[in-house]
Structure 1
Amino acid sequence: MSEPADKADQRKPELCLKEICFRAVRKHFASLSTEALLNLPKPLIEDLLPHLTVCQLDELQPELNQRGISTYSGWAGVLQDMCGPNHAVDVHTEEEARHEVMKLLFTLVFYDVTNAFVMRNSKNLNTPSFLWAAAKSIQHFKLITSSHKALQSLTAEQRPLLNVLEKHIRSVGVSQSIDLSKRKTQTALYVLHRLLDHGVAKKLVIHVQCPIALAWLLHGRGSQYVHHKLKHLVQSKMEGCISQAASASADGASCRPGLETTSSEDKDDHVPPCKRSKLDEATGKADFTVDPQVLCRTFTPRDGPSAGACPFGQISCLEIRQCGSDSLGVLNCALPTFFCLRSLTLHSFSTFLDSDMLGLASALQQLSESSHSSLTELNIGVLPHTKFTEILLDASPAVTSLHLEVQTVMWGPCLLPNYPRTLEPDISELSLEKLTVKVAELQTDVHFILSVLRRSPHLTSLHLAGMRLPTSSSVSQLLTTLSESNHRLKSLSLEDMKLSDCVPEILTLLRSCKLEELRCNDCRLLEKWSDKEEGLRRLVAALKTVPSLHTLSLAQNRLAKNVCVLAELFSGSSPSSVKRLDISSNFIQPAELLEFAKRLTTHRPRHRLTLDLRRNPGDRDPGTWDAALKRLRPFCVLLLKGWKSTDTMVDHISNM
């Protein structure tokens, strides 16, 4: 027996007329004129945005922007739906949100990756129009070589999509190994050729250890170096082609010069071309070219864009995310002639050997000695010693941005005492403007960092993390050096360091520098203060004297009930100009956040404040926590992430 209709209806969520209309607009969008939607009142359009599909948002955005209406709420809603309610949507502009949505969805849809959001919206996303719209919006293309079918579509039915990508993609990522001995690799190589040589892509990100593929990617795109194994394969192929051309001339076979690979053990070399293709399919053996120029003529129609000689692209930004000794060896040989390289990032899962880094320093020095070098950004991890900070800078003194991660190796020989004299540190002035050093070692010799700081009068950004100093040294030395030598400093980030006995030096630094960003995360700021509230009040008073400061982070400092003092940042006749405040992971309880919200309501910030409250125990009293958030929302953008107080380890870490 069925239940009464009125009871069944009570269990369904009630839809208001506006909601029904919004759903109808989404469903019948193609039948409606854009002009009719644009003529709606502005508040109604803003309410409609979260109900539209990605393609609809993309289509309407230009016209809405002309009317002064931002589509940010629509894109942010899509991101929230994709990532879940506990994920903080940390994008602040319409374009940032749009790009993030398109970047995530393009990869999922193009490679047919199973995803709950894509499945729910399959009718709107699995269409050529979406891929076309996304391709015009994204700047990074992720090449997944195992998805041969998807890549192959770019040479057939989706060839126009490749033309669009060619015009918009600025960064290419290689996430899987490229096996130059397999025929199907040709498709991936052709796509790379189109994006790197015909297109505008100047950045290459490699996530795998693949030395010969790295040599193929670098050759002709900035470096004159040819890997010896790649050269051997080319020579072997050319010799085979000459012999094959003589025996197969009756069949019209010909040899195309260029970078080509084959196996000397392939017994099908002398099979006529018309039969060889069938044998290749059956045996998996292939005889094919990897020369970009020949590949382009093979895949592109005669009347296509690559008729005639192909251009050669230049890689100005290179990242190798799994850089072993073999890949580093290829790179070190290529670096001395890599004149167009502007930015270099090298990361290894294990610590680099001293010999690896000395080889890199030598290659960098050869590059820097050339008047054609343009390298200004260097990012390396993981280094075996902090001493390499100066060695690398002396090898490449024109570098303006240096990011290093250091992890001391507790075993094995140390080669540093014997490094070549040409790499000995000197005292000349450095061009350094941005420096990041993240350390994981039992003790850090701070003198190497101090020496770099004294030689870097142009430094504007400094990020130091994890430094453990011997008892004879103090972080106060570092802060004093900054006050004396680095007056242009605008961004200072200190992380996982003991600063509880350095408050006077911090106050001096604030008076001597015009900081715009200050981050003291996990620095035990109040640990030694008997009156923690008074200590924090002194820091707040000093921060208010820095009118240029717009970003402040005090995450993981166990502020807890003392968080209320931070509301004083915005009180008095000279309130702070801080626009972004991070107080995440401070074990702030609901009642304490409510008191903070009440005080902040009394002393409202001059600008809309982005407030990071993630990883605080709001679920201990949800009602009070929600009341606090309600008070903050009118003048704050809140970054929130769920907390589970049942997870005792989370509580323990926050109270350590």
Structure 2
Amino acid sequence: MQADKRKPEEITLCLKKICLQAVRKHFAAVGAEAVVGDLPTPLLEDLLPHLTVCQLDELQPALNLKGISTYSGWIRILEDMCGCAADRTPDFLTEEAAKHEVMRTLFTVVFNGFTNTFVNRNITNLNTPSFLRAAAKCIKHFLLFTGMHKPLKSLTAEQRPLLNLLEQCIRSVGVSQSADLSKKKTQTALYVLHRLLDHGVAKELVVHVKCPLMLAWLLHGRGSQYVNCKLKKLMHSKRANCVSRAVSTNADEASCSPGLETLDNQDDEVTPCKRSRLDSACVEAAGSVDPQVICGAFTPCGGPPAEACPWGKIEHLEIRQCGSDSLTVLNSALLTFFCLRSLTLHSTSTFSVSDVLGLAGALKQLSGSSHSSLTDLSVSVLPNIELMDVLLDTNPSLTSLSVEFQTDLWEQRLILRPPLLEKSELALEKLTVKVAHVQTDVTFITSVLRRCPHLTSLHVAGMRLPTGSSQSQLLTTLSESNPCLRSLTLEDLNLSDCLHEILNLLRCCKLEELQFNDCRLLEKWSDKQQSLQQLVSALKTVSTLHTLSMAQNRLAKSVCVLAELFSGSSPSSVNHIDISSNFIQAAELLEFSEALRTHCPPHRLTLDLRKNPGDRDPDTWNTALRRLRPLCVLLVEGWKSTNTMADHISNM
């Protein structure tokens, strides 16, 4: 018999691994209580990477009570799922965030019958009711593929308890495929949507489809009194013989406006109609799209529910791939959509001016009602910058606005209305403006900022100014008009000549988050080290600041100056620094690590180092990372110089 030539410590590690894998294999027989109660803390921490998803989820509460985090276990699963290299860390900072991402991804794949390498390897542990129940408790968003009939059908049969659980957990519902409402097969998807939106707690709806009729069905009765004419005909034609008394006389006699009509009396605060009890055989044969009727057809006993179903309320609506037809449905629904709090509209192409004016008109009527609760609006892509003023003037009660513009250089400025001599103060607290492919005057945004004394968050991206102009006016306006500003993100702007205005802004505002991303900060500084030291000194005086991003600013050799944030008797309160994409090489990172060890942060720092060329000198790079880890949570990923020459050139 050949002698084992391995070292004793190697044999010990091998035996330990075999034992940990045995615990995983026989976990059900051993029991969670025995595992947590009998194993010492070091062994429990070593066990985490060997556990299945369900085992990790089951043990987490007991482990947390013992002061053990399951973060490493969830990260190991994420790395396995994504095929991450060993030097890449997924961007999830807490065990709950990592766990949510695992459960969200795997639930969608397993429930819908999709496959990938990770699922195939672990199918015996994942394709089980226990996993789906565990995952359902964690996820908040349910993405429904209306064409996936088999998994949806299971929710009405063997997995009905899972549907009951989803009702209690799902806060947001996404619809990713259009469906032919006239087909009886579609009823399964409509039933699941009805259960989540009407019986469940979901208040947010994300629509990924262009079908106006499907959108009309989703909005009907869930906050608006209006219903599409085609939808009403479909609802009535399928159940005319058996539910003739189910709809009020007012609805039958109402006149249609183009494409839409009222279902109930407009003076009624969207009170749902009581439905008559229906003969179960008639319901099954009807093929109706009425949620109340469909629910009766899918009840376990085959008859109608004991009471009329509730109507859900959509408070947050997002429509992706939004076109003119979808806007026609939405605009009419908006007139009485009093429960709506936030509205997000994305178009795959630029909206037409007439589309935006139609939307603004509907929003103006809604905002004129004392019942309106809409405060957040996001629209992209707009064809003209003047339309931002239109949306604000027609909705002065908005507290959050996000707009994106895409205009050709040669397009003429469009004057939509005579300018007002005096404009009222706005309630805006959060503003996001993204501009693409256009040179514009900075006054289009500074005029808005002067009307927003309560603004706490601003994000401006991509704004190009005519040659010879400067962004200094933007920064000066912030200093003078927006004292409540707490979060500022400036992205893809040229701030290379604005150091004085930046320093003044830092003296005037109590910022908590500051991001200068791709702002060419050092480009025109004659003495980069000294100017950066001035910026660092000013940042240290902002006692409220906790997040700082200087990504894509060509810091390179100047990065060491940032360590001085934590020097002296009053170190900075910053706990998250993003210096990704700055062409920081290994020797420079090593120097930064030494400087940071000299000026040790008073708290554990999250440091984003992604997209920096660590592969050019991997030994030195890894040495720097080892020295930083006791002080920082590091966000790093692999860099392949052969595939990133464009980034290298952009940072030269």
Q: TM-score surpassing 0.5?
A: yes
Q: Aligned partners of 2:582 and 2:26: how far apart in 1?
A: 48
Q: 1:378 to 1:455 in 2, by over 3 A?
A: same
Deviates more, 1:180-189 or 1:464-473: 464-473
Q: Aligned partners of 2:605 and 2:6: how far apart in 1?
A: 45
Which of 560, 572, 591 pairs up with 1:576? Answer: 572
Establish whether residue 552 from structure 1 lines up as the match of residue 521 from structure 2: no
Q: Aligned partners of 2:610 and 2:303: how far apart in 1?
A: 53
Establish whether residue 104 from structure 1 lines up as the match of residue 101 from structure 2: no
Letter in 2 for 1:27: K
Q: How does 1:359-508 map to 2 (within 5 A)?
A: 359-409=358-408, 416-418=414-416, 427-471=423-467, 473-508=469-504
Q: 1:179 to 1:496 in 2, by over 3 A?
A: same
Q: 1:78 to 1:13 in 2, by over 3 A?
A: farther
Letter in 2 for 1:231: K
Alignment correspondent of 2:227: 226
SS of 1:519's partner is strand
Alignment correspondent of 2:607: 611
SS of 2:642's partner is coil
Which of 19, 22, 35 pairs up with 1:21? Answer: 19
Residue 32 of structure 1 deviates from its aligned partner by 1.1
Alignment correspondent of 1:54: 53
Letter in 2 for 1:366: Q
Letter in 1 for 2:115: T
Alignment correspondent of 1:280: none
Q: Aligned partners of 1:397 and 1:38: how far apart in 2?
A: 57
Q: Aligned partners of 2:304 and 2:32: how far apart in 1?
A: 35
Any idea what the Cα deviations from partners look like across 1:72-96, whole Å, max 9, x if unmatched? 2212221122123255411122222
Q: Aligned partners of 1:302 and 1:426: how far apart in 2?
A: 65
SS of 1:469's partner is coil
Q: 1:332 to 1:506 in 2, by over 3 A?
A: same
Any idea what the Cα deviations from partners look like across 1:360-417, whole Å, max 9, x if unmatched? 1111110100011111111111011122222111111111111111111568898x53
Deviates more, 1:469-478 or 1:339-348: 469-478
SS of 2:502's partner is helix
Alignment correspondent of 2:189: 188
Any idea what the Cα deviations from partners look like across 1:409-451, whole Å, max 9, x if unmatched? 568898x5345x8x96951111111111011032123212111
Q: Aligned partners of 1:366 and 1:17: how far apart in 2?
A: 73
Establish whether residue 622 from structure 1 lines up as the match of residue 618 from structure 2: yes
Q: 2:548–2:574: 8 Å Cα contact kept in structure 1? A: yes
Q: Aligned partners of 2:490 and 2:570: how far apart in 1?
A: 26
Q: 1:425 to 1:290 in 2, by over 3 A?
A: farther
Q: Aligned partners of 2:421 and 2:585: how far apart in 1?
A: 51
Q: 1:453–1:485: 8 Å Cα contact kept in structure 2? A: yes
Q: 1:14 to 1:393 in 2, by over 3 A?
A: farther
Letter in 1 for 2:439: Q
Q: 1:256–1:294: 8 Å Cα contact kept in structure 2? A: no
Alignment correspondent of 2:264: none
Residue 60 of structure 1 deviates from its aligned partner by 1.2
Residue 35 of structure 1 deviates from its aligned partner by 2.4
Alignment correspondent of 1:602: 598
Q: 1:418 to 1:372 in 2, by over 3 A?
A: same
Q: Aligned partners of 2:474 and 2:611: how far apart in 1?
A: 30
Q: How does 1:336-375 map to 2 (within 5 A)?
A: 336-375=335-374
Q: 2:464–2:493: 8 Å Cα contact kept in structure 1? A: yes
Q: Aligned partners of 2:393 and 2:3: how far apart in 1?
A: 81
Q: 2:344–2:378: 8 Å Cα contact kept in structure 1? A: yes
Q: 1:255 to 1:338 in 2, by over 3 A?
A: closer
Q: Aligned partners of 2:183 and 2:408: how far apart in 1?
A: 39
SS of 2:343's partner is strand
Q: How does 1:209-220 map to 2 (within 5 A)?
A: 209-220=210-221
Taking only aligned residues, the RMSD between alpha carbons, in angstroms, comes to: 2.8
Deviates more, 1:395-404 or 1:15-24: 15-24
SS of 1:417's partner is coil
Q: Aligned partners of 1:628 and 1:100: how far apart in 2?
A: 30
Q: 1:71 to 1:214 in 2, by over 3 A?
A: same
Deviates more, 1:391-400 or 1:76-85: 76-85
Deviates more, 1:19-28 or 1:323-332: 19-28
SS of 2:415's partner is helix
Q: Aligned partners of 1:309 and 1:412: how far apart in 2?
A: 55
Residue 472 of structure 1 deviates from its aligned partner by 5.8
Q: 1:135–1:168: 8 Å Cα contact kept in structure 2? A: yes
Residue 597 of structure 1 deviates from its aligned partner by 0.8
Alignment correspondent of 2:256: none
Which of 629, 632, 644 pairs up with 1:633? Answer: 629
Residue 255 of structure 1 deviates from its aligned partner by 6.5
Deviates more, 1:84-93 or 1:491-500: 84-93
Deviates more, 1:387-396 or 1:504-513: 387-396
Residue 652 of structure 1 deviates from its aligned partner by 3.7
| Total equivalences in the alignment | 618
Q: Aligned partners of 1:583 and 1:205: how far apart in 2?
A: 34
Alignment correspondent of 2:587: 591
Q: 2:296–2:303: 8 Å Cα contact kept in structure 1? A: no
Establish whether residue 208 from structure 1 lines up as the match of residue 204 from structure 2: no
Alignment correspondent of 1:250: none
Q: Aligned partners of 2:648 and 2:577: how far apart in 1?
A: 24
SS of 1:501's partner is coil
SS of 2:633's partner is strand
Residue 256 of structure 1 deviates from its aligned partner by 8.2
TM-score between both structures, scaled by the size of structure 2: 0.90
Q: 1:235 to 1:163 in 2, by over 3 A?
A: closer
SS of 1:289's partner is coil
Q: 2:384–2:407: 8 Å Cα contact kept in structure 1? A: yes
Q: 2:431–2:457: 8 Å Cα contact kept in structure 1? A: yes
Letter in 2 for 1:541: S
Q: Aligned partners of 1:45 and 1:304: how far apart in 2?
A: 52
Q: Aligned partners of 1:304 and 1:598: how far apart in 2?
A: 73
Any idea what the Cα deviations from partners look like across 1:526-554, whole Å, max 9, x if unmatched? 00112211121111111111111111100
